[in-house]
Amino acid sequence: MSDWRRIDIDAFDPESGRLTKQDVQPPHASQITLQEITPKISQLRSLASSGDSKSAVALAVSDPPYSGDENTKAEYFKAVLETLTQVRQADIAGVVSGLTSEQQDTLVKYLYKGMSIPEGQKQGGILLAWFERVTQVAGVRPVSHFINDRNTV
Amino acid sequence: MPYQSVAAVYKLVKAPIYSHCFSQDKSLLAVTCKNDCLVYRFDNGPAPQLVATLANHDKTVTAVDISIHGRILTCSQDRNAYVWEPLSDGTYKPTLVLLRINRAATCVSWAPNGYKFAVGSSARIIAVCYYEQENNWWVSKHIKKPIKSTVQCLSWHANGVLLASGGTDGFMRIFSGFIKGLDNKESVAGSPWGEKFPFGSLIREFYHGSYIEDVQWRSSVEKVGYVSHEGALTVVDYANNHAKVNAPDGLPFNALLWINDHEILCAGFSNHPVLFAESGANQWQFAKDIDKVIASASSPIASGNEDLDESEDANGNGTFGISALRKFKQLDLKGKVSTDVKETAHENTITQLLPYAEANGQVSKVSACGLDGKVVIYNI
């Protein structure tokens, strides 16, 4: 019993009430499916390829599929990443300052998501360039919102 | 200058103050300090005198509150709470409160009438405690459901029945803390929040998402304000209206205080309070900073170095060793970001805001404590 300090006492208490993943999930009224988000993804792709980077990014970071499952979120993220990588470096600052503060918050969520998965890490330099511009415009607010928000992208 | 935002600064202890409370007549101040609660008297001269150390707890004291009758209530991470009854010789007689919790107690709040209080805890329990004459101790009734995580903050409605709480599960909840034999139903008659208020019932819950750090009722307009860890102030009412406004600098808030029916003061990691004002029906916006560092011609580290180089050129290079010493002395920023920034009154995070002077529902002075071991009085 020399290691008694390391005993997980909560494991012996059925009412310990340790938080589970479900407990911290926000209460969504309904779940968005991949089919429902597909039109938005194709709209995003066509906007991005037409070169209208401003409205493409604004659309990408508006009303993201918070309530979707992992697959839906991953598909949507792919489209967002494509949109972000198609914007020219010189245009980034202009696009960022044209976003509302909620859109900036969402943008930072996608930047962190990108940096956490291999697909995004391949474009790490671009994501960091976006991140630099957002924090120049909005300060630490989007970052602290990202850390605290349980609506994940 | 006629208007000074800082009325007084008291550097009390070399440890963080998590909670403080003035007595009703502002002659006594209780602050938490490590495992103790320190009581200061204010009447002789400007410097507060330490008159009592309440030392029964054996872990960090997390919160303190003083009732309208002068009883001091402390709670601690040692899972206990004590009620300290003032005696005529200036000492305090502690009475243990039977909280029946198996985690730290995090926050306390006396009900407005001073006959019961609520203690929040990490055991996902709010203990509503009242004095039982027969047994001569404070007993507690638990509110458990549907709290999912640590309770961080509590606030009583002026009617002494509705209890607002916030915590790390991201919900702001309003419970009934109605104690039979202590409260009467007339105090909640005609309340817009509901019809019946049996003890422990969930009256309303508001999902927010991030940690809720502080909550406060404004009974006169039946609204609840709360601040959260992502640096936002939210105001809700019985019709589920919902107004949210972000901190101007994006840093988390720890405390809020209603100044009047249309203004709220918030404070937290930015070391100075921020005033928000109601700008329309269910709309709030940033009004002003109080005691903010004036960053006029702020010189970050880089530009500070340039100034230094110039002055050195003017002095010539004759005394090389001395100028090198001077250069390093000036380069030492002593933890500040730039060389010539005026300090705020609080040098670290503010943990609590309380009204210090109030007349006709308008708070004119606010007291604040912080992790720098200070208590600061602000003029609003």
* Span A81-116, pLDDT tens digits: 999 999 999 999 999 999 999 999 999 999 999 999
Q: What pLDDT sits at residue B304?
A: 39
Summarize pLDDT for B111-140 with one digit per residue, the tens.
999 999 999 999 999 999 999 888 888 999
Whether residue A140 and residue B249 make contact (CB cut-off 8 A), yes or no, is yes
- Give bridge partners of residue B138 from the DSSP assignment: B97, B131
Identify the band that residue B308 occupies on the pLDDT scale cut at 50, 70 and 90.
very low
Q: Which of B169, B246, B250 sits opposite A23 (nearest CB)?
A: B169
Domain coordinates of chain B in residue numbers? 6-294+345-379, 295-341
Query: Does A89 reside within a domain?
Result: yes
Q: Sort residue B215 into left (φ over 0), alpha (ψ -120 to 50) or beta.
A: beta
Q: Does A58 touch chain B (CB under 8 A)?
A: no
Q: Which of A26, A141, A151 sits opposite B246 (nearest CB)?
A: A141
List, in order, residues 6 or more apart from B87 with CB less than 8 Å away. B93
Q: What pLDDT sits at residue B41?
A: 94
Query: Does A13 reside within a domain?
Result: no
Whether residue A141 and residue B250 make contact (CB cut-off 8 A), yes or no, is yes
CATH class of B6-294+345-379: mainly beta
Whether residue A148 and residue B209 make contact (CB cut-off 8 A), yes or no, is yes
Per the structure, the complete domain to which residue A97 belongs is given by 31-148
Q: What is the CATH number of the domain that holds A91?
A: 1.25.40.190
Whether residue B148 and residue A150 make contact (CB cut-off 8 A), yes or no, is no
Q: Which residues of B touch A17 (CB under 8 A)?
A: 124, 148
Identify the band that residue B309 occupies on the pLDDT scale cut at 50, 70 and 90.
very low
- Model-level ipTM above the cut of 0.95: no
Tokens 């938490």 locate to B32
Q: How many domains does chain A have?
A: 1
Residue B297 reports pLDDT greater than 50: no
Which has the minimum average pLDDT: B68-77, B244-253, B316-325?
B316-325
Query: Does A93 reside within a domain?
Result: yes
